[in-house]
Amino acid sequence: MKHYLSLVKFSHTIFALPFALIGFFIALQQLNFNFDVRLFVLMLFCMVFARSAAMAFNRYLDRDIDEKNPRTIQREIPAGIITPQSALAFVIICSLLFIATTYFLNPLCFYLSPIALLVILGYSYTKRFTALCHFVLGLGLALAPIGAYLAAGGSFDLIPILYSFAVLCWVSGFDIIYALQDEDFDRSLSLKSVPVYLGTKNALRLSTILHLICAVLIITAAWQLQSIPSFSVLTWLGTIIFVGLLAYQHTLVKPNNLSKVNLAFFTTNGVASLILGLCVVLDSVI
């Protein structure tokens, strides 16, 4: 179990899960629904199964690349801890469990589940042919708030869509920063990424632009939430902190100094997501 949790980087659930909780609790307040433990647990299972399938498939598909990269050679498959066949079986099981779980949510979630799988699994192929791979990853995580809203409410709405687009820009931006570590390696294997295509300096500029757009969307979503009586001070507090941490991570990484990429990528973004999610959820229940 420890090795499979490491395979799927379970700790990185910290990025998408708070936004899924935001989508779920917004739906409850906006549609005047009572909290349903069954729906909540099913939504969490969907998150876990979908994300586990996506991460394991990425590790399976990239196993030969990871074996050549000094930064990733110790990952479970190239290190021989988990066999490729076991990883693929894990992907299939998680994918089937994801689809099965959506069946018990509502028909719309069930009908859309293959499309969600196509996006989150398809990302793993993209670095082989397009520098837009970061945006596909962002799109995959952007399904969290709207997916959770659909799980609770069974319909679409502007506010979770705003949060979804914010997540798309946020994740795409910080994944570009993370990819700076492998710029030379990716170029040597003809792999595609924004740093390879634009270079370090321009990649950081694009990341900054994406995070500026994310900040505008997050603020707009918070403004829209004010139409729902439950949301007020805490939502704005979480929003301000999130935007502040977005700005802070861009002070950590410079074109000539990438030593703090991991701090910018994991710690700063993880804390930002947790604080925003906690504030919005508490606002909805207090």
User: Distances in Å between the alpha carbon of 211 and those of 22, 72, 205, 206, 258?
Assistant: 19, 27, 10, 9, 18
Measured CA to CA, the distance from residue 26 to residue 285 in angstroms comes to 10
The predicted model gives 215-229 an average pLDDT of 93
State the Cα angle at 11 between 6 and 12, rounded to 5°.
Answer: 105
Q: Please give the span between the terminal C-alpha atoms of the chain, in angstroms, as a whole number.
A: 36
Closest CA to 263 of 178, 169, 176: 178
- According to the model, what pLDDT value does residue 221 have? 96
What angle, rounded to 10 degrees, do the helices at 107-126 and 133-153 form?
170
Measured CA to CA, the distance from residue 206 to residue 73 in angstroms comes to 29
Measured CA to CA, the distance from residue 264 to residue 250 in angstroms comes to 8
Closest CA to 286 of 234, 220, 212, 226: 234
State the Cα angle at 131 between 127 and 136, rounded to 5°.
Answer: 70
**3 vs 183, residue with greater confidence:** 183
Whether 211 has a pLDDT exceeding 70, the answer reads yes
Please name each of the domains of the chain with its CATH number: 2-285 (1.10.357.140)
Measured CA to CA, the distance from residue 251 to residue 175 in angstroms comes to 16
- According to the model, what pLDDT value does residue 223 have? 95
Provide, rounded to the nearest whole percent, the portion of the chain with pLDDT above 70: 99
- According to the model, what pLDDT value does residue 285 have? 86
- According to the model, what pLDDT value does residue 148 have? 96
**Considering the chain, what is the average pLDDT of its residues?**
93
172-211 core/surface letters (b: 16 or more CB in 10 A; e: else)? bbbbbbbbbbbbebbeeeebbbbbbbbebeebbebbbebb
Please give the full DSSP string across 51-73, using - where no structure is assigned: HHHHHHHHHHHTHHHHHH-TTTT
Beta bridge partners of 254: 257
* Structure confidence by residue, pLDDT tens digits, 240-273: 999 999 999 999 988 888 888 887 778 899 999 9
Neighbours of 223 (CB within 10 A): 14
- According to the model, what pLDDT value does residue 2 have? 76
**10 vs 47, residue with greater confidence:** 47
* Structure confidence by residue, pLDDT tens digits, 5-32: 777 676 677 889 999 999 999 999 998 8
pTM above 0.85, yes or no: yes
* Structure confidence by residue, pLDDT tens digits, 130-161: 999 999 999 999 999 999 999 999 889 999 99
Dihedrals phi, psi of 139, to nearest 5 degrees: -65, -40
Measured CA to CA, the distance from residue 3 to residue 40 in angstroms comes to 27
* Structure confidence by residue, pLDDT tens digits, 86-118: 999 999 999 999 999 999 999 999 999 999 999
Measured CA to CA, the distance from residue 197 to residue 213 in angstroms comes to 21
Closest CA to 111 of 123, 119, 102, 122: 102
- According to the model, what pLDDT value does residue 259 have? 85
